[in-house]
């Protein structure tokens, strides 16, 4: 037990390896939230009137929610009060130049990516990954745009898409997550800065894994990303999102919205690795991550799959969900959530079965170490018309140390007799017998724990696209293997 | 489509809704305090006043967003209904054969519309003690008696244990405010009671009556006993009644208690019950709850495994048909090390009925080496029926083995086909499969006589 105690201490002591600040000139909005700020952001981005109006409607709705104190409090999280007026809602790196090649990208920014272990220069050579690098709020590099253009694929920042494809943005923005959806979605809709916009035309299989790195950099700025992905009939796209933020003393708010739409026979695979700064050992600092992610299987036989590896953030509030509207559509959710130190995670998924023969699968693996609190919260809802729908849910929790907590809160709501729903969950620690067995075969206790934990998360990690596994493995190694040897 | 409820999840999130709904109970309380409750001991008077104040402050719970505990159950029809307390005048002749346990000896207390029916009850073993005027030594003997008598005679036991575990939920407060009669059961240390203790609460349905039955069970050190609580309606086309029951159970070290509940109230009856148990060191509670009927049913079962080695087995069966609504909330609190719990709740839903299961298992930081298993299985047999299942694990210790599961499905077509191919009609096959489904719960009843009685009750229901 002595060794495992040491390991636990190691988890707690594990330093955040990606903490640094890049010096880039910022052009920021003054702190505060008001209609003027929203108009300023909208004007800054040269948005059409309908979008400005939409933002303002969202802001009014948000103010109403604030007034009614509708800030969601049902999650198993202790959220310190957040001063919304102290946040700057827009931060952009230097005014954008016309960037044709990577040479034109700010050297400081390139250095940041190098520190992240994923230099853009290398990216071009690496396995055909197109990187839409979002540095704070504005897209600064867009590497594979030309090759995607050939297939008619639109992969750009939302700001660009608003200019170039206003009809698509107008049609789909807010169609899955309306601004009235929840508190944080309303705030995002009012002040969203930028994000990715993806449109895959009918019948096209996107030749690249699309990837974006979100970074929070400007001190005191929250980040409000908005991502919209549309897969038209018969198309396929795999989208990768990875996060890493510099070390900060004050808490930073992140309220992103991701909307996915899959039409007939289309498939979207959305993978996330989130490794934001979780705060120090006393729980000071760290990112507050309030995310609304939702996909709509609008068409027949469409499929949306979420995969997430959550190893960072002081607070994670995130429920990637799927609306299974089209008949025969499929929703999947694979998740690894790690909490250590004083991190709190309340995450899970929602599967809304509306169409006939819809099926969903949920695999969630939670790991709690130190004083971390890890909650799985999931909803499986089967409507009266969702004949022959199926769900399988498996969520397991692993406990490391006696100070942490693991909670499982599934909701199952079924209104149909022909559907079948299964939920099972277990919570245990790494058993001494398992460690002993491995030791018998010559593994050190540290290696044994590592093997057991790697086995525990394998079901989820192997769902990640191979190209992404470089980054994923590195982050997991830092967080998990640092935790257990 | 936001799905999640917003607002406070666990606080006493009951909000006052309509003044008139509560005021009826407030004026009823004023009358009750003047007449029925005037000769109560002071501690009880105070408790009642606090309880009615609690109720006045919180009001009926609402199913609005944010109130997790009442998310799936709307009590507005109940709150809007005006019930009266029964005056306790002589009840009509009751054909007791239908309710008789098939065993020669039984301790039996029967209440009709909330009032004790001496003619149907066996002479409580405490009666002899009453006559012998040995109140001081009462705690040495078995007590199966009326709560009202125990209160009247200022039995210290009552003050010591009464209302010690019940929180301030609206309905439990209402029960405490109007507490009048019910049962006090005390099993002395080291005593095994071989006869079942049978508490029967009958609603006649002649008028719209509200009753607040209260049961207090104290199981002494190393004692052993079996209690069955029945809630029945006399006639099926009854006027809607409202049963608002509270049961409190305390088991001391090494005690074994079997606690069975059989609820068969009328299809338009409102049945709200809460059972609170505290389990002592190495003591075991086996609880079986059978909800076969009733219009709007809500059961809260809270078990606290308070001392090391305490264990509990919870089994439940709920059958929904027609427009019925059956809501079971269970809460198992692993408070001490080396405690274990095992829970199996099963539901069968037909017609346009709705079943709710919310099972919470909490393992506190001190409760190392805990084993907790929970399973909720539901069979939905019609498209209008609905089931909402929410098994929850909240774990704050690390040396634990906890699992939970929930399933929703219909009859396995392959199994039906298999039985068809062996010559059974589809209807027979279905019945056989349903009987198999419920037998796991029914077999948790270990007492043969009670098992025979409950099996009959369930099988007649399923036919």
Which neighbouring-strand residues pair with A244?
A275
Query: By the 8 A CB rule, do B346 and B328 touch?
Result: no
> In angstroms, rounded to a whole number, what is the distance separating the alpha carbons of residues B129 and B119?
20
Shortest distance between the Cα of A107 and any Cα of chain B, in A, equals 43
The conformation of residue B416, written as its DSSP 8-state character, comes to H
B129 falls in which pLDDT band (50, 70, 90)?
very low
- Residue A348 sits in which domain range? 2-484
- Residue B155, SS3? coil
> In angstroms, rounded to a whole number, what is the distance separating the alpha carbons of residues A29 and A449?
48
Tokens coding B446: 């270990």
B349 pLDDT higher than 80: yes
A317 pLDDT higher than 90: yes
A94 pLDDT higher than 80: no
pLDDT for the residue A345: 93
pLDDT for the residue B228: 96
Residue of B11 and B400 predicted with greater confidence = B400
Distances (CA, A) of B430 to A2, A173, B380, B435: 57, 50, 13, 9
Between β-strands A129-135 and A350-353, what pairing exists: parallel, antiparallel or unpaired?
Answer: unpaired
pLDDT for the residue A378: 93
When scoring B406, B407, B415, B434 by the number of chain A Cβ atoms within 10 A, the one with the most, hence best to mutate, is: B406
- Contact A253/B at CB under 8 A: no
Residue of A329 and A483 predicted with greater confidence = A329
pLDDT for the residue A115: 53
A86 pLDDT higher than 50: yes
Contacts of A76 in chain B (CB under 8 A): 394
Contacts of B68 in chain A (CB under 8 A): 74
A413: nearest CB among B388, B398, B399 = B388
Terminal Cα distance for chain A, rounded: 14
Q: Give the model confidence (pLDDT) of A250-288 as tens digits.
A: 667 889 999 999 999 999 999 988 878 787 777 777 888
Q: Which residues contact B137 (CB under 8 A, 6 or more apart)?
A: B129
DSSP H or E stretch at residue A483 = helix A482-484
Q: What is the mean pLDDT of residues B45-63?
A: 89
Test A411 with B388 for CB contact under 8 angstroms: yes
Q: Highest mean pLDDT: which of A44-53, A209-218, A443-452?
A: A44-53
B289 falls in which pLDDT band (50, 70, 90)?
very high
- Cα dihedral angle (B120, B123, B125, B131), rounded to 10 degrees? 140
Between β-strands A129-135 and A390-400, what pairing exists: parallel, antiparallel or unpaired?
Answer: unpaired
Contacts of B365 in chain A (CB under 8 A): 402-403
When scoring A175, A297, A423 by the number of chain B Cβ atoms within 10 A, the one with the most, hence best to mutate, is: A423
Contacts of B368 in chain A (CB under 8 A): 402
Residue in chain B closest to A387 (alpha carbons) equals B383
Q: What is the mean pLDDT of residues B93-117?
A: 88
> In angstroms, rounded to a whole number, what is the distance separating the alpha carbons of residues A432 and A446?
12
B130 pLDDT higher than 80: no
Contacts of B3 in chain A (CB under 8 A): 321, 350, 352, 379, 381
B9 falls in which pLDDT band (50, 70, 90)?
very low
- Contact A412/B at CB under 8 A: yes
Q: What is the mean pLDDT of residues A434-456?
A: 86
pLDDT for the residue A97: 40
B236 falls in which pLDDT band (50, 70, 90)?
confident
pLDDT for the residue A32: 83
Residue in chain A closest to B13 (alpha carbons) equals A74
Lowest mean pLDDT among A103-107, A132-136, A218-222, B338-342: A218-222
Domain ranges for chain B, please list them. 19-307, 412-463
Q: Highest mean pLDDT: which of A3-12, A108-117, A306-315?
A: A306-315
The alpha-helical segments, DSSP class H, found in A47-100 are: 49-67
Q: Give the model confidence (pLDDT) of A134-179 as tens digits.
A: 554 444 445 566 678 888 998 888 888 999 999 999 999 999 999 9
pLDDT for the residue A273: 82
What is the overall mean pLDDT for chain B?
A: 87
Tokens coding B210: 């509200």
Test B383 with A418 for CB contact under 8 angstroms: yes
Test B6 with A183 for CB contact under 8 angstroms: yes
Contacts of B366 in chain A (CB under 8 A): none
A454 pLDDT higher than 50: yes
Query: Is ipTM strictly over 0.95?
Result: no
B153 pLDDT higher than 50: yes
- Contact A5/B at CB under 8 A: no
Tokens coding B317: 């069966």
Residue in chain B closest to A322 (alpha carbons) equals B1
Q: How many domains does chain A have?
A: 1
pLDDT for the residue B1: 35
Test A416 with B3 for CB contact under 8 angstroms: no
- Please give the interface size between A and B, counted as residue pairs whose CB atoms are below 8 Å apart: 147
Q: Which residues contact B268 (CB under 8 A, 6 or more apart)?
A: B238, B239, B240, B295
pLDDT for the residue A27: 67
> In angstroms, rounded to a whole number, what is the distance separating the alpha carbons of residues A396 and A367?
9
Q: Give the model confidence (pLDDT) of A376-423 as tens digits.
A: 999 999 999 999 999 999 999 998 888 888 999 999 999 988 999 999
> In angstroms, rounded to a whole number, what is the distance separating the alpha carbons of residues A400 and A369?
5
């Amino acid at each position: 037990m002595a060794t495992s105690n040491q390991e636990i201490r190691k988890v707690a002591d594990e330093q955040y390896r990606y903490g640094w600040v890049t010096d880039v000139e910022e052009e920021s909005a003054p702190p505060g939230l008001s209609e003027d700020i929203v108009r300023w952001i909208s004007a800054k981005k040269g948005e059409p009137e309908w979008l400005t109006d939409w933002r303002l409607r969202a802001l009014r709705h948000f103010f109403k929610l604030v007034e009614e104190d509708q800030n969601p409090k049902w999650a198993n999280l202790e959220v310190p009060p957040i001063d919304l007026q102290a946040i700057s809602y827009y931060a952009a790196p230097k005014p954008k130049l016309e960037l044709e090649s990577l040479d034109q990208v700010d050297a400081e920014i390139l250095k940041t990516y190098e520190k992240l272990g994923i230099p853009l220069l290398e990216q071009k050579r690496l396995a055909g990954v197109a990187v839409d690098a979002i540095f704070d709020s504005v897209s600064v590099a867009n590497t594979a745009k030309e090759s995607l253009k050939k297939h008619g694929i639109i992969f750009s920042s939302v700001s660009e898409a608003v200019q170039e494809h206003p009809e698509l943005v107008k049609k789909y923005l807010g169609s899955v997550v309306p601004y009235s959806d929840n508190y944080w979605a309303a705030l995002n809709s009012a002040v969203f800065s930028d994000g990715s916009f993806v449109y895959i035309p009918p019948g096209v299989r996107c030749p690249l894994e699309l990837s974006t790195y979100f970074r929070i950099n400007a001190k005191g700025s929250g980040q409000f990303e908005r991502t919209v992905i549309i897969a038209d009939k018969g198309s396929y796209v795999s989208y990768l999102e990875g996060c890493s933020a510099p070390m900060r003393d004050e808490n930073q708010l992140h309220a992103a919205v991701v909307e996915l739409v899959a039409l007939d026979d289309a498939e979207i695979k959305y993978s996330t690795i989130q490794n934001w700064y979780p705060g120090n050992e006393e729980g000071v600092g760290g990112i507050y991550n309030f995310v609304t992610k939702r996909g709509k299987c609008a068409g027949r036989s469409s499929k949306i799959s979420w995969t997430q590896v959550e190893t960072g953030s002081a607070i994670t509030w995130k429920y990637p969900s799927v609306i299974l509207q089209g008949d025969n559509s499929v929703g999947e959710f694979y998740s690894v959530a790690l909490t250590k130190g004083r991190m709190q995670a309340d995450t899970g998924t929602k599967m809304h079965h509306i169409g006939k023969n819809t099926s969903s699968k949920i695999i969630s693996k939670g790991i709690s170490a130190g004083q971390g609190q890890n909650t799985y919260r999931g909803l499986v809802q089967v409507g009266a018309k969702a004949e022959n729908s199926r769900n399988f849910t498996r969520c397991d929790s692993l406990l490391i140390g006696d100070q942490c907590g693991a909670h499982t809160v599934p909701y199952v709501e079924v209104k149909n007799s022909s559907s079948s729903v299964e939920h099972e969950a277990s919570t245990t620690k790494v058993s001494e017998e398992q460690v002993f067995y491995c030791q018998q075969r010559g593994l050190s206790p540290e290696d044994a724990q590592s093997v057991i934990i790697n086995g525990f998360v394998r079901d989820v990690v192997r769902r990640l696209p191979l190209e992404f596994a470089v980054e994923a493995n590195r982050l997991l190694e830092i967080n998990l293997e640092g935790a257990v040897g | 489509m936001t799905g999640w409820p917003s607002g406070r999840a666990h606080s006493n999130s009951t909000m006052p809704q309509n003044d008139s709904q509560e005021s009826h109970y407030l004026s009823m309380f004023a009358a009750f305090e003047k007449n029925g409750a005037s000769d109560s001991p002071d501690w009880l008077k105070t408790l009642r006043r606090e309880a009615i104040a609690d109720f006045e402050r919180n009001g009926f719970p609402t199913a609005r967003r944010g109130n997790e505990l009442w998310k799936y159950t709307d009590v507005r029809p109940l709150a809007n209904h005006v019930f009266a307390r029964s005056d306790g005048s002589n009840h009509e002749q009751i054909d007791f054969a239908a309710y008789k346990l098939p065993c020669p000896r039984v301790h039996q207390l029967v209440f009709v519309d909330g009032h004790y029916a001496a003619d149907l009850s066996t002479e409580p073993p405490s009666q002899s003690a009453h006559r012998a005027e040995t109140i001081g030594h009462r705690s040495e003997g078995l007590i199966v008696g009326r709560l009202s008598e125990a209160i009247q005679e200022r039995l210290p036991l009552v003050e010591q244990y009464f209302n010690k575990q019940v929180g301030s939920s609206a309905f439990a407060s209402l029960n405490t405010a109007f507490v009048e009669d019910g049962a006090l059961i005390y099993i002395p240390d080291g005593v095994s009671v071989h006869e079942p203790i049978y508490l029967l609460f009958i609603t006649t349905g002649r008028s719209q009556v509200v009753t607040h039955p209260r049961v207090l069970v104290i199981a002494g050190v190393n004692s052993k006993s079996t209690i069955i609580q029945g809630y029945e309606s006399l006639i099926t086309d009854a006027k809607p009644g409202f049963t608002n029951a509270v049961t409190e159970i305390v088991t001391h070290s090494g005690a074994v208690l079997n606690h069975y509940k059989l609820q068969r109230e009328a299809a338009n009856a409102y049945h709200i019950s809460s059972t609170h148990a505290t389990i002592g060191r190495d003591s075991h509670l086996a609880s079986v709850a059978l909800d076969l009927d009733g219009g709007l049913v809500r059961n809260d079962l809270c078990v606290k495994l308070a001392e090391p080695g305490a264990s509990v087995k919870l089994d439940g069966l709920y059958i929904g048909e027609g427009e019925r609504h059956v809501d079971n909330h269970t809460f198992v609190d692993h408070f001490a090390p080396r405690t274990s719990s095992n829970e199996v709740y099963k539901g069968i839903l037909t017609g346009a009925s709705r079943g709710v299961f919310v099972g919470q298992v909490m393992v506190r930081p001190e409760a190392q080496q805990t084993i907790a298993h929970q399973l909720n299985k539901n069979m939905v047999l019609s498209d209008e029926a609905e089931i909402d299942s929410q098994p929850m694990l909240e774990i704050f210790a690390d040396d634990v083995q906890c699992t939970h599961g929930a399933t929703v499905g219909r009859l396995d077509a392959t199994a039906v086909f298999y039985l068809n191919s062996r010559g059974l009609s589809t209807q027979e096959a279905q019945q056989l499969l349903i009987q198999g489904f419920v037998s796991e719960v029914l077999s948790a009843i270990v007492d043969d006589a009670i098992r025979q009685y409950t099996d009959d009750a369930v099988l007649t229901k399923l036919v």
